[in-house]
Structure 1
Amino acid sequence: MEVKSSNELVKEFLHEISLNNTEYLKEKLQHIHAQDIALILDKTEIEDARDVIACMDSAKAAEVLIEMKQEKLTNLLASYSSDEIANHFIQYMESNNAVYVLNHIPLKKQEEVISNLTDVEFASSLLSLISYEEYTAGSMMAVELVKANSSWTVAQCIDEIRSQSDNITKIYVVYVIDDFERLIGLITLKNLILSNPHAKLIEVTNTDVISVNTSADSESIANIFDKYNLIALPVVNAINQLVGVITVDDIVEIIKEEANEDYQLMSGITENVDATDKVWILSRARLPWLLIGLLGGIISSRFIEMFEGTLKIHPEMAFFMPLIAAMGGNVGVQSSAIVVQGLANDTLGTRNILSKILKEIRVALLNGLTCSILLLGYNALFSNSYDLSFTVSVALFSVIICASILGTFVPMALNKFKIDPAIATGPFITTTNDIIGLAIYFTTGRLLYATF
């Protein structure tokens, strides 16, 4: 089978749409994965996207919608009526995917969509799910799962799985509950099949079960999946009643989203964008931190102006300004990156903040001493000004220490105030260290030259 790029597929689909060749599109779409169709729709106009969706059955269209870019999905859904969204898309989705789509339409329209659903039980569960805060376990979970009463036999449980097979696409385990719907434990499908059909479920249930509350945030959920190597995680309410399940494929999407967001924050991009977005969107996402960088540059220039007298007397100091600024920025980014990584994987907590700062200071002392000695050696070979060599080396050592402390402390402080610490690994820390580095450099130079 010939593999084509998304751009080639877009051109092909637009050509067939212009010819109104719906039969060809229907045949073609049957053999293309939902993710690939979503890529095509992301690059087409809304009317063309609607024409493509019209050539798919509702189940396939529902798969495609949840793979589309968020901005395009929002615009596409706005072109459909509440009844169309309910009966052509939502009713063919699992509850967590349905909530994801509903979150891309206005609140009033959400209510209209849910009221148009013919499955009252499904509509009721969606009303409950959309009430949870975004990126919490409640908003991410699916209510489609197999649960069995602890008093049942293994045979009864297997019959229950068969009866729900049409409604549940992914069955990893069976969750065992008591008469009050409280979670007791779980049984893997393998153990269920191998158990005596007449045995009570409570006899073969693994009660050592890990669960999360509906209010748990996505980051902590991701850490649980990673720590315990899970494929599914039950979600319970405040009284331990089983209300849903989060599967590994759901959390992988969240992890990817958060990783992309952190990477963009570290690069000084304030919005979730990619290369296919419009020019003004890309500009809007990049401009805020560029303006902050511009402000930092202006402040740095003012610092240099303050030490104009020192530069007139010792103009050779200007040669090492780029080195001081670059080293300060690099050290700060390295330190903050390590801290952000520790905060992300829960290896760095509030109890060991002081020890972490002290450790970074020791690392900075070692690296600062190494770099300063190397710079001193370089200047000794290529410069006759020993006072300049000593001044620059001392300044570099001081800058590395300060940049390391700042790069360690800032992410922790941001995390303390519930601000994403990834911000501290990008332009913010670089710009700040440039300013502080130049201030230290010129202050050190003025003091040491006065001594010499």
Structure 2
Amino acid sequence: MSEEKENIQFELTPGLVNQVENLIESRNDKALHLLLDDFHYADIAEILDELNLDKAVYIIKLLDSDTTSDILTELDEDIREKVLKRLSAKEIAEEIEELDTDDAADIIAELPESRQEEVISKIEDQDHKAEIKELLAYDEDTAGGLMAKELVKVYDTWTVAGCLRRIRGQAEEVTRVHSVYVVNKQDKLVGRLSLKDLIVAKNEQKIADIYISNVDSVNVNEDAEDVAKIMSKYDLEAIPVVDDNQTLLGRITIDDIVDVLKEEADKDYQLAAGITQDVDSDDSIIELTRARLPWLFLGLVGGIGAFLIMEGFHNVFEKYAVLFFFTPLIAAMAGNVGVQSSAIIVQGLANDDVKGSVNSRLIKEMLLAALNGFILALFLFFFVWITKGSPTTALAISASLVIVIIVAGLIGTFVPLFLNKQGIDPAIATGPFITTSNDIFGILIYFWIAKMILGI
């Protein structure tokens, strides 16, 4: 593993990129080595993201595998995929052997199935190979798909002196030692070991006498998001992974959880924007269209629905044309309130902060919407009265606004709660789905109430 370097002041500039490109074009490998040696591998990955493929591959082949292996893990996924296509199975295997098992498995999983076997067959370390193959068998969205096999474990029957000798040997294969786990003869997790207790204990003492039995763990089949919630709740830097028999299988570290949270945030953001698939700006036009079109079509259907509703109230327009000009305001307020309500609920569900019954949530949201609606409607009432000179018309529009806001708040609260109960990602409720539905209901309520108040 490459030693980490601190480059807090690193800044990617056009000048730096040009300097690297010039050194590559002139084949000045010595100067290129000297330049890049001062950078953290994540900074080098950032530089490679700005280079064309030929130059990026040139640097990967130039530097040592203990550095380039870490660089590969930091590269943009699309660029990494292209770089790996330019490397032989043997070259990829050399990179894989320098990585922890979880990172190695992640990179191999990105390869086509036919090439995965070829790369794995080139890995010389048989233990490393077996552990990678084990991790590849787990679903990527589970604890097993996140965990690394590298950890420090001791047996409860060992003495303190023997334990210290064995820990030194194990620690050489672990980048960071967050915890020392204690297992019994059957390799079942029974506790954890405090380094302080280990240091102050007498050499002849048994580990069984000093270990801490209270240890948090997760099942290998636990959902990745649930693991993230557990580690966040208890402020854990690492957590052991066990099977149904409590056998210690591996550990998950905080850097893997940060990746899970980032991916989930990206997915929720795209859902909220009405994008149904995991895409980015570099994907093809066909892929981007496939991801965006379903919700755009929903918006089109919603617009047609709003048109049909308004057409059904054409007699209202004939007598009170002013109502037509306030339709965008009503629709916008309905959409905004719905998105606000659903966003709070979705955030609460993601953080596991939504407690209590659905009814209590709906009542609270109804009261909140009623208060906000009354304040906004009061302002709107005086505005319409002053500008149009008709208190009845002002009452019809402002009263409609209050009801529309209350209904939008209830829909924005209920829909994500319902979707969550059905096992559907509630983030979908913060996007065009909730906006379109509230637009339609808002317009329908607006004209219906206005018609009643105005006596049409």
| Superposition TM-score tier, normalisation by shorter sequence | over 0.9
* 1:217 maps to 2:260: no
Query: 1:433 aligns to what?
Result: 438
The superposition leaves residues 204-238 of structure 1 with CA deviations (integer Å, 9 ceiling, x where unpaired) of 11111110001111211111111111111000001
Residue number among 365, 372, 392 corresponding to 1:367 in the alignment: 372
Query: 1:71 aligns to what?
Result: 78
Query: Distance in 1 between the 2:13 and 2:299 partners?
Result: 36
User: Would you say the 8 A contact 1:376–1:389 is kept in 2?
Assistant: yes
> 1:35 Cα shift?
1.5
Residue number among 13, 17, 26 corresponding to 2:24 in the alignment: 17
Query: 2:65 aligns to what?
Result: 58
Query: 1:444 aligns to what?
Result: 449
Query: 1:145 aligns to what?
Result: 151
Q: Aligned partner of 2:21: which letter?
A: L
User: Would you say the 8 A contact 1:172–1:188 is kept in 2?
Assistant: no
- Does the C-alpha gap of structure 1 residues 296 and 398 become closer, same or farther in structure 2, counting only changes over 3 Å? same
Residue number among 309, 315, 319 corresponding to 2:315 in the alignment: 309
Task: Report the secondary structure of 2:97's partner residue.
Answer: helix
Q: Aligned partner of 1:22: which letter?
A: D
- Does the C-alpha gap of structure 1 residues 402 and 8 become closer, same or farther in structure 2, counting only changes over 3 Å? farther
Query: 2:160 aligns to what?
Result: 154
Task: Report the secondary structure of 1:147's partner residue.
Answer: strand
Query: Distance in 2 between the 1:342 and 1:179 partners?
Result: 43
User: Would you say the 8 A contact 1:6–1:39 is kept in 2?
Assistant: no
Query: Distance in 1 between the 2:308 and 2:25 partners?
Result: 60
Q: Give the paired residue count.
A: 448
* 1:300 maps to 2:309: no
> 1:288 Cα shift?
4.7
Query: 1:387 aligns to what?
Result: 392
> 1:98 Cα shift?
0.7
User: Would you say the 8 A contact 2:10–2:43 is kept in 1?
Assistant: no
Query: Distance in 1 between the 2:200 and 2:359 partners?
Result: 53
Which stretch shows the higher mean deviation, 237-246 or 309-318? Answer: 309-318
Query: Distance in 1 between the 2:210 and 2:31 partners?
Result: 53
Query: 2:3 aligns to what?
Result: none
Query: Distance in 2 between the 1:10 and 1:273 partners?
Result: 27
User: Would you say the 8 A contact 1:73–1:104 is kept in 2?
Assistant: no
Query: Distance in 2 between the 1:25 and 1:127 partners?
Result: 36
Give me the CA root mean square deviation: 2.2
Q: Aligned partner of 1:159: which letter?
A: R
> 1:409 Cα shift?
1.5
* 1:26 maps to 2:33: yes
> 1:450 Cα shift?
2.1
Which stretch shows the higher mean deviation, 386-395 or 238-247? Answer: 386-395
Q: Aligned partner of 2:58: which letter?
A: D
The answer for unaligned runs of 5 or more in structure 2 is 1-6
The superposition leaves residues 77-122 of structure 1 with CA deviations (integer Å, 9 ceiling, x where unpaired) of 22222222112x1100001111111121112222221121111111
Query: 1:250 aligns to what?
Result: 256
Query: Distance in 2 between the 1:379 and 1:247 partners?
Result: 60
* 1:194 maps to 2:196: no
Identical aligned residues as a percent:
41
Residue number among 83, 94, 100 corresponding to 2:106 in the alignment: 100
> 1:173 Cα shift?
1.4
Query: Distance in 1 between the 2:362 and 2:284 partners?
Result: 41
Which stretch shows the higher mean deviation, 7-16 or 208-217? Answer: 7-16
| Correspondence 1:159-170 to 2 at 5 A | 159-170=165-176
Query: Distance in 2 between the 1:183 and 1:251 partners?
Result: 22
> 1:255 Cα shift?
1.2
The superposition leaves residues 334-384 of structure 1 with CA deviations (integer Å, 9 ceiling, x where unpaired) of 1101110111111226x6223222221222222222322332233333332
Task: Report the secondary structure of 1:167's partner residue.
Answer: coil
| Correspondence 1:231-270 to 2 at 5 A | 231-270=237-276
> 1:309 Cα shift?
2.7
TM-score norm. by structure 2 comes to: 0.92
Task: Report the secondary structure of 1:361's partner residue.
Answer: helix
- Does the C-alpha gap of structure 1 residues 298 and 76 become closer, same or farther in structure 2, counting only changes over 3 Å? farther
Residue number among 43, 47, 58 corresponding to 1:40 in the alignment: 47
> 1:4 Cα shift?
4.2
User: Would you say the 8 A contact 1:210–1:233 is kept in 2?
Assistant: yes
TM-score norm. by structure 1 comes to: 0.93
User: Would you say the 8 A contact 2:378–2:398 is kept in 1?
Assistant: yes
- Does the C-alpha gap of structure 1 residues 278 and 346 become closer, same or farther in structure 2, counting only changes over 3 Å? closer
Task: Report the secondary structure of 1:186's partner residue.
Answer: strand
The superposition leaves residues 159-191 of structure 1 with CA deviations (integer Å, 9 ceiling, x where unpaired) of 111112321111111100000000000013233
> 1:405 Cα shift?
1.2
> 1:154 Cα shift?
1.6
> 1:315 Cα shift?
0.4
User: Would you say the 8 A contact 2:180–2:192 is kept in 1?
Assistant: yes
Query: 1:5 aligns to what?
Result: 12
Which stretch shows the higher mean deviation, 52-61 or 277-286? Answer: 277-286
Query: Distance in 2 between the 1:173 and 1:245 partners?
Result: 10
